[in-house]
Amino acid sequence: MLKRLTIGLFLSTSFLMAHPCLAQQTPWALHGTVVANGGPQDKWISFQHGKITAISTEKPGAAKTFLELDGYIYPGLIDTHNHVHYNTIPQWKGSDYANRYHWQNDPEYLEKVDYPFARQVDNRLVSDSILYGEVRSVIGGATMIQSNYHEAAPKQLIRNLDFDEYHTEAYTGPIGKISDEDAKKLGDHLGKETARLFFHIAEGKKDDTTTQSEFEILGKKGFFKDGVVVIHGIALGPADFKVMKEKHMFLVWSPRSNMRLYGETSDVPAAVDAGVTVALSPDWTVTGSSNMLDELRFAYGYLTKRYPGKFTPQNMFDMVTKNAALVAGVDKELGAIEVGMDADFLTTKKLTFVDKKTKLDQTYEPYDNLLKVAPSDVRLVFVKGRPIYGEPALMSKYAVHSTPIKIGAVEKQIAIDCEDGSNSIDYGQLESRLKSVLPQLAPVYEP
């Protein structure tokens, strides 16, 4: 999505990336309405060492920590494409551009986005900007992110898909300019040490010749193959998606950013009809949504307006959970709540509405609820079994260290540290350091 600085290069190497601290060690049992395969059910989830050990109707006896929540328990959301180190920059409305190479040279973009980011680099605060971007993701329910960092990042918060344990690589430059050496290196890795390879492809208007050419170039470079992930793909049509399905490729869709920059977005119905697995992500907060919950709302609104009845709230849920896990290559560990999988959870309030016929309060079904909740409605977010964000009363009791964070007028707390309390970072101090060098720090939540 973004214009890379020279220090970032275009070839992302996974060993530079961050990962969260060690999983929780003591046995937990969490109760609520679990949104899992087979439909929502009131269940106890037992977990230890960051792994789900049992799911039961009866209260387990072995746990040391018991927590009963009045709310929905979802799998942690998976953000398959973002640029969190830029997410300190306030939203930029952009304009009507032909393609991503067009706006990257717009003086307004340079003034409002690129130059402020360079100040963070000059002041050696990129790690802080990454951490702030991760905070913005976590409050919206994300527990994993793909981001193409260009320097070593903090290890206190979210799972980074780019870290070497997940076996991914990314090339963010123009596909037509990739060197033969880099193309060979990436191609040789794929299917061996690399399980997923991410490319920005066809990001621009559908009638733009540069945008139109990139998918064909991707094929000529030898990347029509299993494990390749196409980010954006705005100019792709049914024939292209047929190729992607046949070659076991994937699509990441970022509608809000696409609409803001180009006035159009990927033909997701055609991709779905072709059988391509589609994941949803914000792209970045500068022109995309502030977090995954907001991107879900925008995407569902876009689809229901243009394709009434084709997509359900559960389809949207899938795009940020099980579909996203497939796209990321982590479907054996994340994207669902099952025994043996990782203990990443998003727990939220059960929101209500007034039934027009009965005039009585009704609770939203879980998939509809996910399209309504905001970061202020999140009860707790767990990563590797550790509560890292949520309501003050719960965080104060169950997190080792947590500091205040305000979402609009709502008080929350966030734990930016390891389970044993080491490397603890105060959110307020993080915010202050960034404000000291930026003309304006983006709010942690920009609806």
pLDDT confidence tier of residue 417, bands split at 50, 70 and 90: confident
Q: What is the CATH number of domain 28-78+333-422?
A: 2.30.40.10
Residue whose structure tokens are 């037509």? 176
Strand ranges (E), 20-175: 28-36, 39-48, 51-56, 65-75, 77-79, 142-145, 159-160, 168-171
3-class SS of residue 324: helix
Q: Which two tokens stand for residue 331?
A: 């479907």
Contacts of 112 (CB under 8 A, 6+ apart): 89, 90, 92
Instruction: Please give the Cα distance from 155 to 146 (Å, whole number).
Output: 15
Per-residue pLDDT tens over the stretch 272-286: 999 999 999 999 999
Reported as a pLDDT band with limits 50, 70 and 90, residue 148 is: low
CA–CA distance, 38 with 259 (Å, rounded to integer) = 35
**pLDDT tens readout for residues 196-215:** 999 999 999 999 999 999 99
What own/partner pairs with CB < 8 Å and gap ≥ 24 does 91-95 have? 91/285, 91/286, 91/287, 91/442, 91/446, 92/286, 92/287, 93/260, 93/287, 94/260, 94/261, 94/287, 95/261
Backbone angles phi, psi at 428, to 5 degrees: -60, -40
Is residue 143 over pLDDT 70?
A: yes
Q: Which residues, in sequence order, are CB contacts of 359 under 8 Å at separation 6+?
A: none
pLDDT in tens, 223-249: 999 999 999 999 999 999 999 999 999
Q: What is the pLDDT of residue 391?
A: 98
Measured between alpha carbons, how far is 215 from 81 in angstroms, rounded to an integer?
18
What is the DSSP track for 49-85?
TTEEEEEESSPPSS-SEEEEEEEEEEEPEEE-S--GG
How far is it, in rounded angstroms, from Cα 371 to Cα 353?
13
Residue 18 contacts by C-beta under 8 Å, 6 or more apart in sequence?
Answer: 130, 149, 152, 153, 154, 155, 157, 158, 160, 163
Q: Could you tell me the residue ranges of all domains in the chain?
A: 28-78+333-422
Residue pair 435/441 in contact (Cβ under 8 Å)? The answer is yes
Predicted confidence at residue 2, as pLDDT, reads 43
Give the model confidence (pLDDT) of 65-123 as tens digits: 999 999 999 999 999 999 999 999 999 988 899 999 999 999 999 999 999 999 999 99
Check if the beta carbon of residue 76 is closer than 8 Å to that of residue 70: no
423: pLDDT strictly greater than 80: no
Length of the chain: 447
What is the per-residue pLDDT for 15? 29
Report for 169-178, 280-289, 400-409: range of highest mean pLDDT: 280-289
Tell me how far CA of residue 348 lies from CA of 140, 285, 324, in angstroms: 10, 22, 20
pLDDT score, position 165: 84
Please report, as a single letter, which amino acid is at residue 324.
Answer: A
In this prediction, residue 62 carries a pLDDT of 84
User: How far apart are the C-alpha atoms of 252 and 281, rounded to whole Å?
Assistant: 7
CB 69 within 8 Å of CB 347: yes
